[in-house]
Amino acid sequence: MKFKDFLRTIPYLAWVVIYTAFCAGIFAAILGAVTPELREELDNYQQLGILMMVWSTGAVLGALQGGRMAQRYPPRPLFLGYTAAALASIVLIVLSPNFGALLLGFFAVAVVETALFTLAHSILADVSPQPELRARLLSMVDVAFSLGNLLSPLAVIGVQNLNTNWRAPYALYLLPLFSVLLLFWPRRHFAHLAPAHHAAEEQGGALSYAQLLRRPLVAWVVVGGVLSGFLEWGQNFWYVSYGISAQHLSPNGARVGLQFFVAGMVAARLWQAFFHSSWSIRQKLWRMNLLALAGMALNVALPGLGGWMLPAASNFMVGLGIGVVFPILLATMIDAAPGQTSRLSALLMIGFSVGSQLAGLLVGSLSDWVGLRWAYGCMLLVVLAFTAVVWRIVHFAAPSVQK
C-alpha cells in the first residue's frame, strides 16, 4: 500500500495513540537532560541509580497489570484513567518534598504509562487487521516516540533559559499530557471498538501469561525481545565508554558514533512506517538482523581502525538492524493470537525491560572483572544468539505473517 493510501486508513484513535507516544518520548528523555541539576538535589549517585531502578520496576509492573486490565475493562475508561493518573503523578514529581515522594511519582508514571501502551497496542491491532499494515502502524508509534526523544533535550534547554530548576520541564510537560486526556475524551471514537475481553473470547478465551508463554512462537519472540533490549540499551549504556577506551576515539567522537546508532534506528523506523516494501515481515526481520550482526562484528573485531568513520558506519548498521525489531516481533505475535494483544504487548515490553537491565548489570560486572573492551565483546555474542532466535521465529511464523 502506498504511503498516502496508508495514511488515509489510519483512524482518529490511532493518531491519538501516535501523539501519546510522541509525548511519552519527550518524558522519557527529560530525566537524562536534567540529571546534573537533579544530582545536585540528591545526596549521592546511588539515589539516582535507585530512581532509575524504581522507574524500570514500575514499567514491568505496569506491563503485567496493563495486560490484565485491558482484557477486563472497555478501553475509554482505561485511557482516561491512565492519563489522569499520569497527570497526578507528574504533579507529585513537580511538588515532591523529599526523595520518597519523588520515587513514588516516577514509579506511578512508569506503571500507568506502560499500562497505557499495552492497551494502545491492542487498539492498533484492532484497527489494523492486516499484518503488514499493523507492523507499519506500530512502527509509526516508534517513530513518534523517537521524535519525542529528539525534541526533549531542545525543549529542556529552552525551558532552562527561563528557569534552571530541574522540575520546570516536568511542570511544562503537564500541558501536552493534558491535551492527551482531551483527545481521548470524545466517546464516539470508541463506539466501534469491541472490548479486548470480547476479542479474546472470540479467539477461544483470554489466556494467562503462563499459557501464552507455553506457545513456542510466543516464547521465542519474548526471548528475542530480551536479546534485542540487551542490544539496544547495551549500546546506549556502554558504547561511548567503549569508543573512548577501545576504539581510541575522543569523547565527542564516541558520542558521534552513538548518534549514528540512533540515526540508524530512526531511519529503520521511518522506512518501516512510511515507505512501501516488497519484503515480507519475515524477510525484514531476518535481513535487517544480518545488518546488525555485521555492524557489531565490525565494532568488536576491528577496534581502533578507520578513525571515526568505521565506527560510525558500523553503529549505523547496528541501529538499522534492530530499529524495527519491536513492532515486527509484536505484529508476529498478534497475528498468531489476535485476541491476546494486550498481554502479548506486556510480555514483549517486559522482555525488552529485562534485556535493558541485564545489559547494564552484565556488561558493568564483566568490565570490573576483565575490562570494558572484552566485556563489550559479549554484545557480539548476544547478536549471534539473537540471529539464532530470529531464524527460529521466522520458521515458526504462520504463512499469513509472511505475506
pLDDT category at 49 given cuts 50, 70, 90 is low
Mean pLDDT value across residues 20-39: 82
User: What separation, in Å, do the N-terminal and C-terminal C-alpha atoms of the chain show?
Assistant: 13
pLDDT category at 192 given cuts 50, 70, 90 is low
Q: Which domains can be identified in the chain, with CATH numbers?
A: 11-184 (1.20.1250.20), 210-398 (1.20.1250.20)
- 306 has pLDDT over 60: yes
In tens, the pLDDT along 146-173 reads: 888 778 878 888 898 899 899 999 999 9
d(CA 219, CA 318): 24
Mean pLDDT value across residues 75-104: 94
Sign of CA dihedral 261, 265, 266, 270: positive
Query: Residue 90's pLDDT is what?
Result: 96
d(CA 23, CA 173): 8
| Mean pLDDT lowest among 47-61, 293-307, 388-402 | 388-402
Helices assigned H by DSSP within 128-213: 131-160, 167-184, 196-202, 209-213
Mean pLDDT value across residues 50-76: 82
* Exposure string over 204-238, b if 16+ CB within 10 A, otherwise e: eebbebeebeebebbebbbbbbbbbbbbbbbbeeb
Only one residue has cell 555485521, namely 294
Q: What angle do CA 258, 259, 265 make, to 5 degrees?
A: 95
Query: Residue 227's pLDDT is what?
Result: 95
Distances from the Cα of 273 to the Cα of 143, 214, 291, 321, angstroms: 8, 31, 19, 15
Q: pLDDT averaged over the chain?
A: 82
Query: Residue 397's pLDDT is what?
Result: 52
Query: Residue 199's pLDDT is what?
Result: 47
Mean pLDDT value across residues 387-396: 88
Query: Residue 400's pLDDT is what?
Result: 41
| Mean pLDDT lowest among 20-29, 124-133, 193-202, 381-390 | 193-202
Query: Residue 103's pLDDT is what?
Result: 93
- 1 has pLDDT over 60: no
* Residues of the chain above pLDDT 90, percent: 25
Regarding predicted confidence, which is higher, 121 or 45?
121
- 319 has pLDDT over 80: yes
DSSP code of residue 338? G
Mean pLDDT value across residues 72-88: 91
Mean pLDDT value across residues 200-216: 70
Contact, 337 vs 353, CB < 8 A? no
* Residues of the chain above pLDDT 70, percent: 88
